[in-house]
Structure 1
Amino acid sequence: MARGRTRARRRTGRRIAVAVAVLAVVVGGLYVGTALKRHGDVVSAQPAGAPSARTTLVRRTDLSDSRALPGTLGYGAARTIKGAGKGLITRLPEPGSTITRGKPLYWEDDQPVMLFYGGTPVFRTLDKAAVEAGASGTDVSVLADNLKALGYDVGPEPRGKRPATGTEKAPGTLLTSPLLDALKRWQRDTGQQQTGTLAVGRLVVLPGAVRVGAVKAQLGDAAAEEMMSVTSRRKSVSVTVDAGDADLIRQGDEVSITLPDTREVPGKVASVSTTVQGGAGDESDPSGENTPPSSQVTVVPVDSAAVKGLDAASVRVTFTTQTRENVLTVPVGALLALQEGGYALQRPDGRLIPVKTGLFTKGQVEVSGAGVEEGERVVTAS
């Protein structure tokens, strides 16, 4: 009897639990449905409007296009020094040393071989016999110019006689006895044999002061062999530039040089090579592949002290290739390509302004046209 009552109570408890669960579902459903309806009423209550357009101003400013290219910092191209004397090498300079005008580059048979500046080597003996023969030429001019630069009085400097045809250039300076006397005084002051004669191999003529690079010769080697390589004493950066871009670079242009430690130092373009390498038919390309035509640009730091601790390094050089001053500009995203060709700007009211484009750089574009004005607001995508 007691067992029957217990089962009845259990069935009654289950019914109550089920009823409570059902009630909770119904009430919850009514709440969720009401909330959703209210949310829907709020969304549908918003009127459908046109999407907002982003706008920008037409501005007047300066535009410049820059390009960063890899370069190599060093002392420039090396030049091999080969003597012209018949003796033996008895002394050599230290690598890294600087040799200037009138200083010995090496010693042959214990006699210094000096450096003079110029473009013509001494190719013959200059002595009294040559004076009597009326010798003249650019080698004589080199001798006279350097002795004057070193502070010696070389006397009158008559020009050589022009050839009878009159079509050739004058043959340089005429060799004179006062010039040989100045040579003899310089030989005495520099510890050379005072002969008043300049023989082949007693001078090395180079464009300017040099820095000694690798020394190849050893003491006792013949002076007529390769002895050393020399470079400019001023550091420079060599940059390979596409031949088409080289036309936009001029000697004297200002550049920025980024060093390996990320420092930026100012520089200037020293030279732009007129020799184009690569391209179709370039016989210097051993691979036989047509590499893009390129030219070499040499850049020098404005302050040599800024690269004092670097003998060689990979750097980046930023060139300003084009500049537009006081022009109207907009973001590139403001341009609309017209179906019939060309571009236009769009006013916020939808009207179009045909424009001509100029320089594109750094997300901006130069624009011009009869209908575009500074300060006007136009639609842009970015």
Structure 2
Amino acid sequence: MASSNSPQKRPRRASRNVTAVAVVLAVAAGGIYGAKALSDHGKRQQPGPAAAPSAQTTRVKRADLSDSQTLPGVLGFGGRITVKGTGKGVISRLPASGSVVARGKPLYWVDDEPVTAFFGDTPFFRTLDKAGTTGRDVTVLVENLQALGYDIGPRPRQSSEPVAGRGTGGVGTELTTGVLEGLKRWQHDTGRKPTGALDPGQAMVLSGPSRVDAVMAQLGDPATESVLTLTSQEKTVTVKVDAGSADSMHKGDEVTIVLPDTKGVPGKVVSVSTTVQGGGDTDAGDGSDTAPTLQVKVRPTHSADVAKIDAASVQVVFTAQTRKNVLVVPVGALLALSEGGYALQRPGGKLVGVKTGLFAKGLVEVSGAGVEEGDVVVTAS
């Protein structure tokens, strides 16, 4: 049995050897194939030659071009002044904040007598009761009585030279008996005794229609105290402008006021201050900016546009200059020439010399014999 089993074991070893050789050959073949596959994959992953960049182009267009500057401002009632009372007595009645002050209407009350608002440029500094007195304060009385509809007789004589013995006023209007009679009628109509004499404490002379901004006095205070503050009835925007750039702003210039809700409304410059504020050191040591500035006042064209806003921070767009219906391209389309000046480049590479005008909002005005609306040019932006 031993001799019969021996021949059966040797073929099994041979079979295992053949199998091992086959595995080695398969691995080797697989390695060669895998190496080739990896090599091909690597070649596919290597970047090819870079493609030439494509030129960006734009067209020459016609447009309106404006050079503008946007600055912050404050909208509110301007021209704030403090009214200080005159005469004897105590304050017995006061107006409400926001009240409108009109010619011939009471401003406040002293000892239950109204202090009336008159308009003019000279306060009442003396009692007016004698015919023949001449002065600018008489002019204010005459103009207000006439504006309120009172008959003062023949127009009083105007004097441009001091008149001896005619009171301390001198230059101005002569007080006539007709004016004094008109004064009596006004006193009667306003609940006063018709004495025909106007005392300084009976009327307060203001520059024009106003609005009560704040009440400072209290009932019972002496009439000589600060009574209230007034502002103009019209709202204005106050803008601080760098003194170096204010030369381009002038009274009457049209602007755009951007309200807090981003709505733009038209406005107009009403004044440009000539008084420089700030200046000197650019650093005051406390972090504040002391650069020299000027105040520019802007008024909304239509008061209804800001009727619901008493005070607010706004933006004001000032336009320094405007060019209408001109040829424009992006600033990036300009090429600076080594010999000076600028050119535009056609897609084929040809250069066309141009003259530049206004620069604004990333665009530039161009002109030249070889430039027309619709031309295609190369641009960097």
Q: Shared topology, TM-score over 0.5?
A: yes
Letter in 1 for 2:378: V
Q: Secondary structure at 2:248's aligned position in 1? A: coil
Q: For 1:145, which of 143, 146, 168 is the aligned residue? A: 143
Give the 5 Å matches for 1:29-48: 29-31=35-37, 33=39
Q: Deviations over 1:79-129 (max 9, x none)?
A: 1110121222111111222221111111112211111112221222211x2
Q: For 1:123, which of 105, 122, 125 is the aligned residue? A: 125
- What is the Cα deviation at residue 272 of structure 1? 2.4
Residue number in structure 1 paired with 2:57: 55
- What is the Cα deviation at residue 32 of structure 1? 5.5
- What is the Cα deviation at residue 356 of structure 1? 3.0
Moved more, 111-120 or 290-299: 290-299
- Call closer, same or farther: CA 1:63–1:11 in 2, change over 3 Å: farther
User: Is contact 1:237–1:300 with CA below 8 Å preserved after alignment?
Assistant: yes
Residue number in structure 1 paired with 2:294: 295
Residue number in structure 2 paired with 1:378: 377
- Call closer, same or farther: CA 1:249–1:143 in 2, change over 3 Å: same
Give the unaligned 5+ runs of structure 2: 1-5, 164-169
The 1-side partners of 2:9 and 2:253 are apart by 110
- Call closer, same or farther: CA 1:381–1:281 in 2, change over 3 Å: closer
The 1-side partners of 2:354 and 2:243 are apart by 31
User: Is contact 2:159–2:173 with CA below 8 Å preserved after alignment?
Assistant: no
Give the unaligned 5+ runs of structure 1: none
The 2-side partners of 1:213 and 1:192 are apart by 28
- What is the Cα deviation at residue 300 of structure 1? 2.6
Give the 5 Å matches for 1:108-119: 108-119=110-121
User: Is contact 1:63–1:327 with CA below 8 Å preserved after alignment?
Assistant: yes
TM-score scaled to structure 2, two decimals?
0.83
Give the 5 Å matches for 1:201-220: 201-220=201-220
- What is the Cα deviation at residue 36 of structure 1? 6.9
Q: Deviations over 1:243-262 (max 9, x none)?
A: 23333223333333223233
- What is the Cα deviation at residue 197 of structure 1? 1.5
Give the 5 Å matches for 1:249-328: 249-280=249-280, 291-328=290-327
User: Is contact 1:268–1:300 with CA below 8 Å preserved after alignment?
Assistant: yes
Residue number in structure 2 paired with 1:163: 161
Residue number in structure 1 paired with 2:78: 76
- Call closer, same or farther: CA 1:90–1:24 in 2, change over 3 Å: same
Question: Identity over the aligned pairs, expressed in percent?
Answer: 57
Q: Secondary structure at 2:158's aligned position in 1? A: coil
- What is the Cα deviation at residue 38 of structure 1? 8.2
- What is the Cα deviation at residue 140 of structure 1? 1.9
Give the 5 Å matches for 1:343-354: 343-354=342-353
Residue number in structure 1 paired with 2:337: 338
- What is the Cα deviation at residue 287 of structure 1? 7.7
Q: Deviations over 1:191-241 (max 9, x none)?
A: 222222111122111122222122121122221121111111222221111
User: Is contact 2:343–2:354 with CA below 8 Å preserved after alignment?
Assistant: yes
Letter in 2 for 1:111: E
Letter in 1 for 2:364: V
User: Is contact 2:102–2:117 with CA below 8 Å preserved after alignment?
Assistant: yes
- What is the Cα deviation at residue 341 of structure 1? 3.4
- What is the Cα deviation at residue 7 of structure 1? 8.9
Q: Secondary structure at 1:319's aligned position in 2? A: strand
Residue number in structure 1 paired with 2:247: 247
Letter in 2 for 1:103: K
Q: For 2:32, which of 15, 26, 30 is the aligned residue? A: 26
Letter in 2 for 1:137: G
- What is the Cα deviation at residue 294 of structure 1? 1.6
The 2-side partners of 1:218 and 1:335 are apart by 70
Letter in 2 for 1:154: I
Q: How many residues align?
A: 368
The 1-side partners of 2:106 and 2:160 are apart by 35
The 1-side partners of 2:197 and 2:14 are apart by 142
Q: Secondary structure at 1:196's aligned position in 2? A: coil
Q: Deviations over 1:118-167 (max 9, x none)?
A: 2221222211x2x2xx32333222222222222222222234333289xx
Letter in 2 for 1:97: S
User: Is contact 2:136–2:172 with CA below 8 Å preserved after alignment?
Assistant: yes
Residue number in structure 2 paired with 1:177: 177
